[in-house]
Structure 1
């Protein structure tokens, strides 16, 4: 049961019929791995800790640089040259004592994936390079852990949910079968605006919360399914255009010959 303090603190969430006390308990008991504590990982970790997620693992081997500060909103100039995961974990632990925040102050590799994924309920990919994205996608499929992917460059962003527990769920490799076909642009080559990252991070956090409280639904062609905004839809790539302020949704299909998730 929730304590009286928790009931008061999270009252605006608990009063929602699709959350309730059971949903808040699910958030408290959840263990989530966030890969990348940059422009996406900063707001994602803030939102999830604020929502009452019980355990967050933050993985990032990079140190904070001056050019990070306009979009990585947890950091200040006093944090420059310090590890991103360490700094974020320290600040989140101080601000959100209900949550346990653990820093993984190195880049995620196969060994770390195999160690942490069996311990978590959900992974959020907030990384900024394609090889890490392939690694996380493969590891989540292998360990049958849901994955919420986010990416943004310039004025554009994308978001995708992969749920290997569902046999119909496509994976990131279905969308981009090889690194040659995957988008090569990143923030270092074409730039980025902080609010675009905040929008994509907000969507990632929302999808994560819905997955944790168990309110998910497989995407299909029926109007009824597509009109359920409170449900997580797999096989749907969400693209955001910050110049026109428009979202587009594209339906993906699981590729039977995918070398990662195909059978």
Structure 2
């Protein structure tokens, strides 16, 4: 049963026929891991906390820098030099003290992720590191854990989701085989417009909520190319790759 305060706090989404009280209960019992608390992780975490996700695991070993503040909207000027995971946890707890928040002040590595993914229902990949993204894909596939992945460079964003709960592909490595990857730029080397991260990070949160409420997930096995400069959206169906080193479908 939802408490009277929960019914009031989440009333605007509970009144939606796609959600209702049952949907809110599913959100309230869900556990999500967000890997990367930068430009994508900030808006995604804020919306998931506000929506009443029962438990958030926040993973980032970085510290807040002045250059982050143009796009990483969880942080303020006086947070410079502090741990992103710890500050994010404090900010989100202030926004919604009814949920459980677990900060992990460390960079995600494969052995650590293998243990931690067992404790959650879904992972959001909000990183800007290709090697870590492939690690997240591999670990989530092996653990049967759904994942929502996104990236943004300049004005251009990408979004795709995978449901590995049935142990099937396709996966991120089908789309971008690890052995074929050239050097990829990120926000630090190529630049990025802040609101584009807000748009794509919010879409990640939305897809996660839809999955948890058993609603159709539009990005499931589909690569969404989001051009915020022109507001154009293109969707590509991802086929399985018979030679994929991860899902080997």
One of 216, 239, 243 as aligned partner of 1:253: 239
Displacement after TM superposition at 1:182 (Å) = 5.8
Between the aligned partners of 1:182 and 1:129, the Cα distance in structure 2 is 13
CA contact (8 A) 2:168 2:247 kept: no
Q: How many residues align?
A: 249
Distance 1:179 1:103, change over 3 A: farther
CA contact (8 A) 1:14 1:20 kept: yes
SS at match of 1:116: helix
Compute the TM-score of the two structures, normalised by the length of structure 2: 0.96
CA contact (8 A) 2:134 2:178 kept: no
CA contact (8 A) 2:159 2:200 kept: yes
Distance 1:151 1:9, change over 3 A: same
Query: Residue 160 of structure 1 corresponds to which residue in structure 2?
Result: 160
Displacement after TM superposition at 1:249 (Å) = 0.3
Query: Residue 64 of structure 1 corresponds to which residue in structure 2?
Result: 64
Query: Residue 196 of structure 1 corresponds to which residue in structure 2?
Result: 196
Asked whether 1:239 is paired with 2:221, we answer no
Asked whether 1:142 is paired with 2:142, we answer yes
CA contact (8 A) 2:144 2:166 kept: no
Distance 1:187 1:199, change over 3 A: same
Between the aligned partners of 1:207 and 1:94, the Cα distance in structure 2 is 24
Query: Residue 185 of structure 1 corresponds to which residue in structure 2?
Result: 185
Displacement after TM superposition at 1:61 (Å) = 0.5
CA contact (8 A) 1:170 1:252 kept: yes
1:91-120, Cα deviation, whole Å (9 max, x unpaired): 111221111111100001122212211110
Compute the TM-score of the two structures, normalised by the length of structure 1: 0.91
Query: Residue 151 of structure 1 corresponds to which residue in structure 2?
Result: 151
Between the aligned partners of 2:167 and 2:74, the Cα distance in structure 1 is 38
Query: Residue 173 of structure 1 corresponds to which residue in structure 2?
Result: 173
1:48-86, Cα deviation, whole Å (9 max, x unpaired): 000000100000010000000010111112111111011
1:151-205, Cα deviation, whole Å (9 max, x unpaired): 0010100000011124654111000112543670211111001100001001101
Q: Mind listing any 5+ residue stretches in structure 2 that lack a counterpart? A: none
CA contact (8 A) 1:176 1:182 kept: no
CA contact (8 A) 2:27 2:209 kept: yes
- After superposition, the CA RMSD in angstroms is 1.3
CA contact (8 A) 1:34 1:59 kept: yes
